[in-house]
Amino acid sequence: MLEIRDLSAGYGHRHVLEHISLKASEGEVVGIIGPNGSGKTTLLKTITKVLEPISGTVLIDGTNVNEMQSTQIAKKVAVVSQVISINFEFTVEDIVLMGRTPYIKGSETFEDINIVRDAMEKTNTLFLKDRLITQLSGGELQRVIIARAFAQNPKILLLDEPTSHLDITNQIDILNLVKNASRKGMVVVAVIHDLNLAAYYCDKICLLQDGELISTGTPEQVLTSSNIERAFNIAVKVIPNEITNSLYVIPVLEPLHETLH
Ligand SMILES: Nc1ncnc2c1ncn2[C@@H]1O[C@H](COP(=O)(O)OP(=O)(O)OP(=O)(O)O)[C@@H](O)[C@H]1O
Ligand SMILES: [Mg+2]
- Point out the ligand 1 atom lying closest to the alpha carbon of residue 43: 18
User: What pLDDT is attached to residue 227?
Assistant: 98
Residue 255 CB burial class (10 angstroms; 0-12, 13-18, ≥19):
exposed
The amino acid that residue 9 corresponds to is: A
Here the contacts of 240-248 (C-beta below 8 Å, separation 24 or greater) are 241/196, 241/199, 241/200, 244/200, 246/196, 246/199, 246/200, 246/219, 247/196, 247/199, 247/219, 247/220, 247/223, 248/196, 248/199
User: What pLDDT is attached to residue 261?
Assistant: 60
pLDDT average, residue stretch 113-142: 95
Is 46's C-beta closer than 6 angstroms to any atom of ligand 1?
no
Is 11's C-beta closer than 6 angstroms to any atom of ligand 1?
yes
The CATH number of residue 169's host domain is 3.40.50.300
Residue 14 lies in a domain: yes
C-alpha 43 to ligand 1 mean position (Å): 10
Residue nearest to atom 27 of ligand 1 (CA): 36
Residue 122 lies in a domain: yes
- The Cβ of residue 27 has, within 10 Å, a number of other Cβ atoms equal to 15
Looking at the chain, how many residues does it have? 261
DSSP-derived pairing of the beta strands 2-11 and 187-191: unpaired
DSSP-derived pairing of the beta strands 187-191 and 156-160: parallel
C-alpha 17 to ligand 1 mean position (Å): 10
Task: Determine the structural domain holding residue 134 and report its residue range.
Answer: 2-251
Residue nearest to atom 7 of ligand 1 (CA): 11
pLDDT average, residue stretch 82-103: 91
Residue 57 lies in a domain: yes
Closest CA to 58 of 156, 136, 140: 156
Strand partners, 217: 205
| Contact predicate 96/151, CB 8 Å | yes
Residue 130 lies in a domain: yes
Is 246's C-beta closer than 6 angstroms to any atom of ligand 1?
no
pLDDT average, residue stretch 165-186: 92
Task: Report the domain count for the chain.
Answer: 1
User: What pLDDT is attached to residue 256?
Assistant: 73
Percentage of the residues of the chain whose pLDDT score is greater than 70: 99
Distance CA 81, CA 141 (A): 12
At residue 102, does pLDDT exceed 80?
Answer: yes
User: What pLDDT is attached to residue 259?
Assistant: 66
Residue 40 lies in a domain: yes
**pLDDT, tens digit, for every residue of 19-69?**
999 999 999 999 999 999 999 999 999 999 999 999 999 999 999 999 999
pLDDT average, residue stretch 87-109: 93
pTM of the model: 0.93
Distance CA 53, CA 84 (A): 24
Residue 261 lies in a domain: no
Give the residue, out of 13, 38, 47, 213, with the most ligand 1 atoms within 8 A of its beta carbon, to mutate for a pocket test: 38
User: What pLDDT is attached to residue 86?
Assistant: 82
Residue 259 lies in a domain: no
Residue 241 lies in a domain: yes
At residue 258, does pLDDT exceed 80?
Answer: no
- Point out the ligand 1 atom lying closest to the alpha carbon of residue 82: 27
C-alpha 215 to ligand 1 mean position (Å): 20
At residue 161, does pLDDT exceed 90?
Answer: yes
**pLDDT, tens digit, for every residue of 236-248?**
999 999 998 999 9
Q: Which of helix, strand or coil describes residue 13?
A: coil
pLDDT average, residue stretch 118-126: 95
